[in-house]
Structure 1
């Protein structure tokens, strides 16, 4: 069984979207840490993702260093929001 420190989750997937997948994962394993990595910045995606239990939400257009830092922060239990999402 895989035991990742942080799960990077996209919002658009074939059978189940990232919000539904986040809910399913956390229902079975509430200690999991999920970081949404997506291209969507609208409130209709951000708020449901965070309400589903994601610890962070960053954009795919973020710099590699910002993504790496977000992963580290989420691994350490911190919540993370991309600057663009906060605006």
Structure 2
């Protein structure tokens, strides 16, 4: 099983002059195949990461696309060793 680190760099919407919780849907792709869809709710201006797993071939390009009712910025990167489950891709 391969792992991807999804990082939500910021997520919020504006209500007047205040930042409030927002909702986003992240679609994570390996190559051209969508491997996971994540629903994200909350508010952050500091990066928050989550590790996702998939069974597609390792070494393909990874990307994230999202829909959001506010302001969002996200990134993905393939990881070799998942820190949450210690699964090592090289073994």
TM range, smaller chain = under 0.3
TM score, norm. by length of structure 2: 0.26
Higher strand share: 2
TM score, norm. by length of structure 1: 0.27
Larger radius of gyration: 2
Higher helix share: 1
Per chain length, whose mean CA-contact separation is higher, i.e. which structure has more relative contact order (CA < 8 Å, sep 6+)?
2
